[in-house]
Structure 1
Amino acid sequence: MSATATLPSTAMKRRRSPLARKLFPYLLVMPAVIYLLLITLYPGVYAMYRSLYSGKFKLEWAGFANYRDIFSDTEFLNALWNTLFLGSITLAIEFVLAMVLAALVYRDPWVKGLRIIFLLPMLLMPSAVTFIWKLMFNDGRIISDLMKRIGLIDFNVDWMFTPALARLVVIWTDVWQWTPFLFIIFVAGLQGQDKEVEEAARLDGASWTKLFFNITLPMMRPIIAIALILRGIDILNMFTPIQLITHGAPGGATETLGYYINRVAWDGPNFGYASAISVVVLAFTVVAAQLLVRRYFRSGTEA
């Protein structure tokens, strides 16, 4: 009975051609690939097409005029500078905090079972987190009240009064929510390293600092590169804290590229120019990410 039951399946396997067997896995993933292309590739292609036209409803051919206007636009250059300035400080703080915390706790077994706790800030909606810190800094003046109670200040602080304070609020909001993203990646990378290398270095008398900076960090370079690239791309599109807290104030000191593109598109309105800026930012992001991946993956392999 079992022999007869296996005959149809065996015959079907024999009837399948080698080409059909090779194509079968691709057919299984094709629906997901098509869906991803529709939600990622199509908007990019449409943005390139729209960047060649001006006007809101009645499109008028503009060619590359929108691209020519970008680098003479002082507001765009200001938004680019703010994005790079805020992004570099935010990414540096998140990297240092995440790496220090990961290096301190990755050996403890309870970290493996309680990783979800470290992810809670980044699991919250960005708009909800932004509203919380807006209440803490501005609307509720909770931070100022706490600083007054412990004697650090004698007056309520207007966090939107100076560019430095406004930028501090934006950086704090992003660091609080997204440091766990780097932390959990670094913990996983540290826990996945070869323990025999560390044990051999300890037997040779290497201290903790030498072990960490000369062995652990070089082995972590590819993981660090991917994590920083992912966070850098996200920071490059920073929008929610600017939209809900600062609105680019004071004097455009906190206006980032994401907020500027949105303002040009809807307040102008100039969808063609906004699309051209988006295409330029996309091209810059792809080139920079590719260069960083090649560099750090090569150095990590050689190390």
Structure 2
Amino acid sequence: MRRRSPWLRRAFPYLLVGPAVIYLLVITLYPGIFAIYQSLFVVRFNSWTFAGLNNYAGILRDREFWAALGNTAIIGSISLALQSGIALALAYFAYRDPLVRGWRIVFLMPMLFMPSAVAFMWKLAFNDGRVISDLLMRLGLVETYVDWTGSEWLARLILIVADVWQWTPFLFIIFVAGLQGQDQEIEEAARLDGASWPAIFWNISLPMMRPIIVVAVTLRGIDITTMFANVYIMTQGSPGGATETMSYFIYRQGFRMFSFGYASAASVLMLIVMTILAQTIVKRAFHSGKTP
């Protein structure tokens, strides 16, 4: 049997992964480069007029852009805080309580639904079907049906509820894996010293999980900035743009006002902001191998 040449043996692993790498570069790198290129033009369908950095200058002066950025920060930060707290509590009980541990798959079910289906479901519950309003009236908490999209904070609330319901399982499964991957001997030693489970979790497990929590929350935070389905289906930015997130702002500029270059510039700016924030957070979390 003829032996392969040393060059072929060294190149063989790269030949195996090469198609996958090329495919990923095509579907990720090319759209990004094209968006940066398009952001330098005023694009109206087939009409491309070079504008340089005028699109970026216009966005930085655009009050709607800053309002959308603020809405994204408010809705995203509240939703992320609730998701992190709920997921951490569920992970604690799923890790310790045998009864809850047997039903952990139930906690993952919301994440299996399509975002559009979840948005329609919560729109039906809050607005179209008035299920939530009817429940509150039966409990005597309100006297009439609530117009959830008629108030700035109520409209934001329904977006937060839908996002928390669907994506808390994402953090939950990461936190459970983090707890299961810890050194059991440390916890056993603390338990032999008389420490309670809550004390062990708060003083031992939680500090050891800080890098995992930081990475998971960062990934989820990046994903929240792309919130679109909930806004498009449930509120469409109402009332008065109070629920217009960055994704919906970009969609409106590109596919309703047909300012594709302007929308691309907004996308590039958002990418830069999120890259800087994510890099700063992760770098601080793993600086010199230490947790913050």
Q: Tell me the TM-score normalised to structure 1 length.
A: 0.91
Task: Report what 1:51 is aligned to.
Answer: 39
1:86 to 2:75 alignment: yes
Task: Specify which of 137, 140, 143 is matched with residue 151 of structure 1.
Answer: 140
Please state how far the C-alpha of 1:287 moved relative to its aligned partner.
1.7
Identity of aligned residues (%): 58
Larger radius of gyration: 1
Residue 94 of structure 2 contacts residue 104 of structure 2 at CA under 8 Å; is this kept in 1?
A: no
Residue 265 of structure 1 contacts residue 273 of structure 1 at CA under 8 Å; is this kept in 2?
A: yes
Please state how far the C-alpha of 1:114 moved relative to its aligned partner.
5.0
Please state how far the C-alpha of 1:53 moved relative to its aligned partner.
0.4
Task: Report what 1:72 is aligned to.
Answer: 61
Unaligned runs of 5+ in 2: none
- The letter for the 2-side match of 1:41 is L
Mapping of residues 187-202 of structure 1, within 5 Å: 187-202=176-191
1:170 to 2:159 alignment: yes
Q: Distance between the aligned counterparts of 1:288 and 1:297, measured in 2?
A: 14
Q: Distance between the aligned counterparts of 1:241 and 1:32, measured in 2?
A: 32
1:280 to 2:251 alignment: no
1:87 to 1:114, Cα distance in 2 relative to 1, 3 A? same
Please state how far the C-alpha of 1:117 moved relative to its aligned partner.
2.5
Please state how far the C-alpha of 1:154 moved relative to its aligned partner.
1.5
1:29 to 2:17 alignment: yes
Task: Report what 2:29 is aligned to.
Answer: 41
Task: Specify which of 227, 242, 251 is matched with residue 238 of structure 1.
Answer: 227
Q: Report the secondary structure of 2:209's partner residue.
A: helix
For residues 191-225 of structure 1, the C-alpha deviation after alignment (integer angstroms, 9 at most, x for no partner) is 11111011112233334343222211121112111
Q: Distance between the aligned counterparts of 2:291 and 2:9, measured in 1?
A: 38
Task: Report what 1:257 is aligned to.
Answer: 246
Task: Report what 1:95 is aligned to.
Answer: 84
For residues 234-284 of structure 1, the C-alpha deviation after alignment (integer angstroms, 9 at most, x for no partner) is 101111111001111111110100000000111211100100110111111
1:99 to 1:300, Cα distance in 2 relative to 1, 3 A? farther
Unaligned runs of 5+ in 1: 1-7
What RMSD, in angstroms, separates the aligned Cα atoms of the two structures? Answer: 1.7
Q: Distance between the aligned counterparts of 2:118 and 2:286, measured in 1?
A: 34
Q: Distance between the aligned counterparts of 2:58 and 2:216, measured in 1?
A: 34
Residue 162 of structure 1 contacts residue 250 of structure 1 at CA under 8 Å; is this kept in 2?
A: yes
Q: Which runs of 4+ in 1 moved over 6 A?
A: 110-113
For residues 128-168 of structure 1, the C-alpha deviation after alignment (integer angstroms, 9 at most, x for no partner) is 01000000000010111111112221111111111011011
